[in-house]
Amino acid sequence: MARAVRNRAETNWAYWSFITPAFVLYLFVFGFPIILSFVLSVSNYGGGKMFGGDPWSLVGLGEYFKLANDSNFWLALKNNIYIVLISVLGQIPLAFVLAYIIFRKIVRWGEGWQAILYVPAIISVIVLGIMWKMIFASNGLLADIINAMDTQTFLTSLNGLLANGLNVTDDFVTKLLAISDPRALTGFTNPLADIKDLILSNGYTTQNLEVFRSDMVNLLAPKWTPDFLSKQDIAMIPILFVTLWVWTGMYIIMFHANMQKIDTAIIEAARIDGASELQVLSHVIVPNLSGVLANAAILCIAGSLNTFALIWAMTAGGPMNITQVLAIYMFQNAFIGVPNFPLANAISVFIVLFSFILIGLTLLVERRYGGRE
Amino acid sequence: MKRLALVLALVAFAAMSLVAADKTVLKFLYYADSSQAGYADDMATWAKFKAANTDIDLQMEILFDRPYAQKLTAYAAAGTVPDVVYMWPTTNEASSLLQSKKMMKDLKTVLPADFLANFTSASLDPSAQTSKQLSELPQSFTFTTVMYANVGLLKSLGLSVPKTYAELKALVPKLRVKNVQTVLLPNADKWPAQSCLFSTISGRLLGDAFIDNVLAGKAKFTDKAFVDALAFYGQLYTDGIINISNVQMGYGDGPGLFAANKAAFIIDGDWRVGAYLTDKSNGKALIDPAKQASDFELLNFVAIPGEKNVNTASAIAGTGLGINKDLSGAKLDAAKRLLMYYYGKEVQTVKLETGAFIPTRTDVTSSKLEPLSQKQIKYYSTVPKTTYVLDGALDPTVFGPLNDGLQGIPLGAQTPAEVAALMQKAQDALPKK
């Protein structure tokens, strides 16, 4: 009996000896910043030296109430939720299906596809953000492609009007206006008279029709601009797309590696029993990997809530903060304009709490519906 | 033998450490655009300073635009402001804490009076700085609204330089047929539209008295006059004078597009002259001097319908260097030497010649100015009176919604009245003085 007690004491001592240094280090690295962040969020600290600088004190939860009444905060939160949704409900299912296709060798050169899909994850997100920003820019690749098509359509119609040469009459200009982009006419007080006057004053003739065509394309052809990037909610679409594109490859690798651990005899048995590929996926693979899926979801949620660099590089949260997320909102309050450190810390505390809630929900779902690996 | 080598290496290391310990370490956060023509000359002046001051270990950190502002704010927030920093005179976002918390020394108590006597009296006015002391010595007086004009392009298209808003608007279709934008105002960074254009619009339509009245609680941003000024700004976009794509165009993209004849005008601050001059390190210029002379002009913004203060432009005491208030002894002496070198005739002449700015130091002249720099001086004479730059006059919590709104109005996401209401709400929330 005494020996058993001594053994248990030794075990406990050994356990705490091993765990304590790491636990203290963990508390220092992770716990302390969270606690300090909370303390600052309920203080009136205004920057400068924390100790020995201007005096500061605890003033209560005012910054949290301020957050609750701040439309920018709710907008940032909504955008973050979009990113969580595209990550959890986009990246994970897509990656899972693609990993399954590669695992089951439904496509050829599976390993090659895996490598290609993983490439975005190994490139700096800042570089990717700048690249996509250039693609979506008003004079970027996307706009160029669409404008080239629009220009072609306009030119075809214009050539129809010029079939009998250039004869600048009211009727000709009226037809010209009919094929023009209505937005190109908004700057004219009287489009018919103004454009007719412009054409006549520029001295176009049948001999220089090419110049006329080119000038009319510049002036009147539809010009597509990615103005959706300035509309609330819609502006997030390119960011969500890029988020999906960048990180899906990483989850493919994760799922594929875990699928390879599944005993193939189970899959073969299911197939012999008549299960389709879809049934194998839903009844064999998914239950076997529910823990991996839960971990992937946790990674997704954590990554989504602290997403910063990609959006900063693509839009910096603009225009007018409509692509702002919580991390950018926190950064702006801490380091741009007039720093409001208590508010910035309140945002970071909220991010931590919100992460805990979402991760808790994920674990609950996994426990309720997940299988056993 | 190995032991001897080890001992010698240790002795050498110790000796180097002692030499390093003798030096006064001076941390210097400096603002410079490495893509600007005068960058190499600028760096050469610092190399010269280092060579002439071997007792100072000058540790420079050089950044530009947004990264600079963020780094400086982070330093100030953490209470680790470098020994010498480049800063702004008011609560411009980068210098907000430095000015409002008086984190810098009053240079009037640091620099000798006979040295300061070389500068214009306006640059030494402490009331021009938020801290109400000489936290930095303004190296220039900055005009924030300059309409850089490509008159060569206009002439080639048979067009003339506009003097009024109506004339400017009339150019739009004539330029558009040649795929040329009328006015560039890259505003993805938010501040350019406010600092480089709207401040002048506000100054011309309302005057500084209106802003003073708002600050005193005798007027409101929601007053019709201010909302109309915002509406006029929006009209620049609906009239096609400024293309909507400018809202998402980075500040750094403007000069290249302008120099490449993609626009007839660009609205920017006078500090941008340097972007177009010859880079002496490689002999290249965004606009070569001959073209600067024949094809480009610096103009005052066109007359606005209903302007009360004719031809005025926004201007403000310029940026400069400041010294951390905690410095003393050898470090303070080193910082003082650095400032006296920087504001000395030699470096300020380099600044003048490279188009960085027109110095506030009164004895600086040069016969080697490129045409655009000469035109910059001429431009100043076209401005009869200067008006507030709003981010220098208003609290950052108030000009923040304005900066956002100057993106939101052209995009149709906000109305002028909504922007004005947000500004007034922020103004009302400020503690009463």
Question: What is the DSSP secondary-structure string of B219-248?
Answer: S-TTSHHHHHHHHHHHHHHHTTSB-GGGGG
Give yes or no for B174 touching A (CB within 8 A): yes
pLDDT at A164: 82
Query: Are the beta carbons of A232 and B413 separated by less than 8 Å?
Result: yes
Give yes or no for B172 touching A (CB within 8 A): yes
Instruction: Indicate the helix (H) or strand (E) that contains B297.
Output: strand B296-299
pLDDT at B265: 98
Give the bridge partners for B31, in sequence order: B63
Q: Which residues of A touch B190 (CB under 8 A)?
A: 318
Query: Are the beta carbons of B407 and A215 separated by less than 8 Å?
Result: no
Q: Using CB atoms, which residue from B101, B244, B404 is nearest to A320?
A: B404
Query: Are the beta carbons of B248 and A230 separated by less than 8 Å?
Result: yes
Chain B: give the shortest CA distance to residue A218, in Å: 5
Query: Are the beta carbons of B179 and A338 separated by less than 8 Å?
Result: no
Give yes or no for B178 touching A (CB within 8 A): yes
DSSP characters over A76-94: HHHHHHHHHHHIIIIIHHH
The pTM for the full model equals 0.80
Report the percent of chain B where pLDDT is more than 90. Answer: 70
Task: With a cut of 90, say whether residue A347 has pLDDT above it.
Answer: yes
Query: Are the beta carbons of A216 and B247 separated by less than 8 Å?
Result: no
Query: Are the beta carbons of A320 and B245 separated by less than 8 Å?
Result: no
CATH no. of A71-137+232-333+347-369: 1.10.3720.10
Q: Which residues of B touch A47 (CB under 8 A)?
A: 76-79, 97, 101
Q: Where are the beta strands (DSSP E) in chain A?
A: none
d(C-alpha B430, C-alpha A256), whole Å: 57
Q: Where are the beta strands (DSSP E) in B32-127?
A: 56-63, 84-87
Q: Which residues of A touch B239 (CB under 8 A)?
A: 187
Give yes or no for B244 touching A (CB within 8 A): yes
Domains located in chain B, CATH noted: 23-137+319-356 (3.40.190.10), 143-315+381-429 (3.40.190.10)
Give the bridge partners for B25, in sequence order: B57
**Residue B193 per-residue DSSP state:** I
pLDDT at B398: 93
d(C-alpha B127, C-alpha B133), whole Å: 7
**Lowest model confidence (mean pLDDT) among A120-129, B2-11, B337-346:** B2-11
Q: Which residues of B touch A194 (CB under 8 A)?
A: 173
CA nearest to A225 within chain B: B245
Query: Mean pLDDT in chain B?
Result: 91
pLDDT at B291: 96
CA nearest to A201 within chain B: B174
CA nearest to A138 within chain B: B245
pLDDT at A363: 85
CA nearest to B413 within chain A: A231
Query: Are the beta carbons of A194 and B173 separated by less than 8 Å?
Result: yes
CA nearest to A332 within chain B: B70
CA nearest to B245 within chain A: A138
Higher pLDDT, B302 or A203: B302
Find the radius of gyration of the CA atoms of chain A. Answer: 30
Q: What is the pLDDT of residues A212-248, one digit of tens each?
A: 999 999 999 988 877 777 777 788 999 999 999 999 9
Q: Which residues of A touch B188 (CB under 8 A)?
A: 316, 318-319
pLDDT at A226: 76
Q: What are the φ and ψ backbone dihedral angles of A84, each rounded to 5 degrees?
A: -60, -45
Query: Are the beta carbons of A320 and B413 separated by less than 8 Å?
Result: yes
Query: Are the beta carbons of A49 and B79 separated by less than 8 Å?
Result: yes
Q: Which of A130-134, A198-202, B120-124, B165-169 has the highest mean pLDDT?
A: B165-169
Task: Tell me, rounded to whole angstroms, the distance of Cα B75 from its chain centroid.
Answer: 20
Query: Are the beta carbons of B245 and A339 separated by less than 8 Å?
Result: no
d(C-alpha A236, C-alpha A243), whole Å: 10
* Contact by Cβ (8 Å): A67, A224: no
Average pLDDT, integer, range B50-62: 96
What pLDDT band is residue A128 in, cutting at 50, 70 and 90? very high
Give the bridge partners for B322, in sequence order: B85
Q: Which residues of B touch A225 (CB under 8 A)?
A: 244-245
Q: What is the pLDDT of residues B258-270, one digit of tens each?
A: 999 999 999 999 9
Chain A: give the shortest CA distance to residue B77, in Å: 4
Higher pLDDT, B8 or B372: B372
Q: Using CB atoms, which residue from A49, A54, A215 is nearest to B178?
A: A215
Report angle CA B156, B160, B161 to the nearest 5 degrees: 120
Find the radius of gyration of the CA atoms of chain B. Answer: 23
d(C-alpha A316, C-alpha A235), whole Å: 12
